[in-house]
Amino acid sequence: MKRTKISQVLEQSEVGSSLIVKGWVRANRGNRFIQINDGSTIKNIQAVVEFENFDENVLKKVTTGASVAVSGKLVESQGSGQAVEIMVETIEVLGEANPEEIQKTVMQPKRHSLEYLREQAHLRFRTNTFGAVFRIRHAVSFAIHKYFNDQGFFYLHTPIITGSDAEGAGEIFHVSNLDPKNPPLTEEGNIDYSKDFFGKQVNLTVSGQLEAELAALALGQVYTFGPTFRAENSNTSRHLAEFWMIEPEVAFNDLNDNMDLTEDFLKYITNYILDNCKHDLSFLNEREIKEQQSKPQKDRNELTLVERLEFVRDNDFKRLTYTEAIEVLKRSKPYKKKKFKYEVEWGVDLQSEHERYLVEKEFKCPVILTDYPAEIKAFYMRENEDGKTVAAMDVLFPGIGEIVGGSQREERLDVLKRKCADFNIPEEDLWWYMDTRKFGSVQHAGFGLGFERMVMFVTGMTNIRDVIPFPRTPQNAEF
């Protein structure tokens, strides 16, 4: 007989049917009631053992963490808490879990801090919280592919190793196989990258956008979904050195089309999770409610996790320009009371405290800010008529801050050349990008969604390290 997954047992199997379940023991009460989980759902199946009929030496090994195969009949449960349970006919221990070792791990049956669980990334998958988070992470990823596929986008694989620093922020990881102790040197004494593997200096990509633009100007609408790398030394709860980004790029779209696409896309993902991840979401919702109760009233969320998702799904995002946002901030209480740490001045980039004020206090909904000053945004964004601002957009989410960054692209060759000069970007290096503006250039636009920030939003996790299986952050690349 083949094993039946627990999700299927609970949703589809008929009472009276014989089946085999395999999984890991979550709890064993008196060698009689054994909770088994196989990862297919947050729910456990209860296996009931008539211990008089079983070998004591086998039962002794059915400890928390051990893997077991259980066969038996599905019956209506006598106890409360579950509708069905398995009356065990045979039980086999597939892999033992040493109780002494368990004492040193996250598998002792008690509540652990998320920080502690991070140190045991191999075992944190076994916890309810991380099981839920990673099943939802999968669902978000699937929803993204489904959305774009249904809309006629093509999934484009852009390179991970590249010579370009698309965002121009200089936060790149170099890739080289030269001997660091004895690199070849040029006559001037610099490292001679022409002798390196690729014959030039290359790095891990910070964004697939520039390559995606090439494809969009031929295939019409494409999206990337891949890992991106940033050597930002910001040890915050919202930054990773390795994260995943989704970057759609659409020919013939302007900034308004771009905002419409973003809003529709984010609502779709949110709705998909509400519809398809009910058990996991409800667990995380309860978890958050409990956690909130230990906080002072003023620090508690106004809405529960599920309410926040429903709110995003059902309400229009507030759209305003950067210039309007500066005015709003200057009229705000925290500004007047000098509560903001960072400066609020036209031309200066907004900090997360400003973004969160706009979203959480002023508008109380997701916000799309547009038309930022040219100097604080990337070279490829389209210059507006005023000559001072560009057709940029940032989407700001409650509890997260910036979740999406995007823009209409500069499609005019002469303006793009001037921008390269302004930003000190050697045009020759980007000849392949500049070329798209020479052969049938058109208006086009796109954006980048930080995948982990979206997963934070739909799971309610407040640290980005807790929504990626193996976080990479400054001073940390364990596992």
Give me the residues that bind Mg ion (CB under 5 A), please: 405
* CB-based contact 66:28 (threshold 8 Å): no
**Range 244-283, binding ligand 4AD (CB under 6 A):** 245, 247
Indicate the DSSP class of residue 455. H
What order of strands is seen across the sheet that includes strand 318-321? 154-155, 221-229, 242-251, 444-450, 401-408, 389-397, 367-373, 318-321
Answer yes or no whether residue 446 interacts with ligand 4AD by CB under 6 A: yes
Please give the Cα distance from 63 to 87 (Å, whole number): 18
Q: Which is nearer to ligand 4AD, 329 or 403 (CB)?
A: 403
By CB under 6 A, is residue 137 in contact with ligand 4AD? no
What is the spatial distance between Cα 134 and Cα 148, in angstroms, rounded to a whole number?
22
What is the spatial distance between Cα 202 and Cα 209, in angstroms, rounded to a whole number?
Answer: 17
User: Among residues 230, 308, 354, 419, which is the contact residue for ligand 4AD, using CB under 6 A?
Assistant: 230
Nearer to ligand 4AD, 302 or 349 (CB): 349
In the complex, least distance from residue 167 CB atom to Mg ion, rounded to whole angstroms: 8
Q: Which of 26, 230 has the CB closer to ligand 4AD? A: 230
When binding is defined by CB under 6 A, the residue of 65, 131, 398, 450 that contacts ligand 4AD is 450
Candidate segments 105-113, 177-185, 358-366, 443-451, binder of ligand 4AD by CB under 6 A: 443-451
Which helix (H) or strand (E) segment holds residue 183: the answer is none
- What is the closest distance, in whole angstroms, from the C-beta atom of residue 227 to Mg ion in the complex? 17
Looking at residue 312, its amino acid is V
Which is closer to ligand 4AD, CB of 72 or CB of 448? Answer: 448
| Binding status of residue 23 toward ligand 4AD by CB under 6 A | no
User: In this chain, which of 26, 239, 382, 419 binds ligand 4AD, going by CB under 6 A?
Assistant: 239
State the residue for tokens 């100007």: 217
Q: Pick from Mg ion, ligand 4AD, none: which does 353 bind, CB < 5 to 8 A by kind?
A: none
Selected from 35, 63, 209, 436, the binder of ligand 4AD by CB under 6 A is: 209
What are the percentages of helix, strand and coil residues in the chain, rounded to 5? 35, 25, 40
- Pick from 17, 22, 26, 24: which is nearest to 3 by CA? 22
Q: Is 153 in the site for ligand 4AD (CB under 6 A)?
A: no
Give min distance, CB of 141 to ligand 4AD, in A: 15
Angle at 159 between CA 455 and CA 177, to 5 degrees: 110
* Contact residue for ligand 4AD among 38, 167, 288, 411 (CB under 6 A): 167
Q: Is 402 in the site for ligand 4AD (CB under 6 A)?
A: yes
> 229 or 357, CB closer to ligand 4AD?
229
Helix (H) or strand (E) run with residue 426 in it: none
- 193 or 265, CB closer to Mg ion? 265
**Contact (Cβ atoms closer than 8 angstroms) between residue 70 and residue 20:** yes
Query: Nearer Cβ to Mg ion, position 248 or 405?
Result: 405
CB of 47 or CB of 222, closer to ligand 4AD: 222
What are the beta bridge partners of residue 91? 70
Please state, in angstroms and as integers, the Cα–Cα distance from residue 286 to each residue in 205, 217, 329, 460, following that order. Answer: 39, 47, 35, 11
Q: Which residues contact 295 (CB under 8 A, 6 or more apart)?
A: none
When binding is defined by CB under 6 A, the residue of 23, 131, 406, 471 that contacts ligand 4AD is: 406
Total site size for ligand 4AD, rule CB under 6 A: 23
Closer residue to Mg ion (CB): 366 or 405:
405
Shortest distance (Å) from residue 224 CB to ligand 4AD? 8
Cβ distance 454 to 308 under 8 Å? Answer: no
Q: How far apart are the first and last CA of the chain?
A: 36
Q: Is 166 in the site for ligand 4AD (CB under 6 A)?
A: yes
H or E stretch covering 278: helix 278-293
Query: Which among 270, 214, 286 is positioned nearest to 247, based on CA atoms?
Result: 214
Task: Candidates 175-183, 293-301, 335-343, 399-407: pick the segment binding ligand 4AD (CB under 6 A).
Answer: 399-407
Residue 446 interacts, among Mg ion, ligand 4AD, none and using kind-specific CB cut-offs from 5 to 8 Å, with ligand 4AD
Residue 48 binds ligand 4AD (CB under 6 A): no
Angle 84-280-83 from CA coordinates, rounded to 5°: 10
403 binds ligand 4AD (CB under 6 A): yes
255-276 and 278-293 helices, crossing angle to 10°: 90
Helix (H, G, I), strand (E, B), or coil: what is residue 407? strand
Is residue 383 at the binding interface for ligand 4AD, with CB under 6 A as the rule? Answer: no
Binding site for ligand 4AD (CB under 6 A): 166-167, 207, 209, 230, 232, 239-240, 243, 245, 247, 402-407, 446-448, 450, 452-453
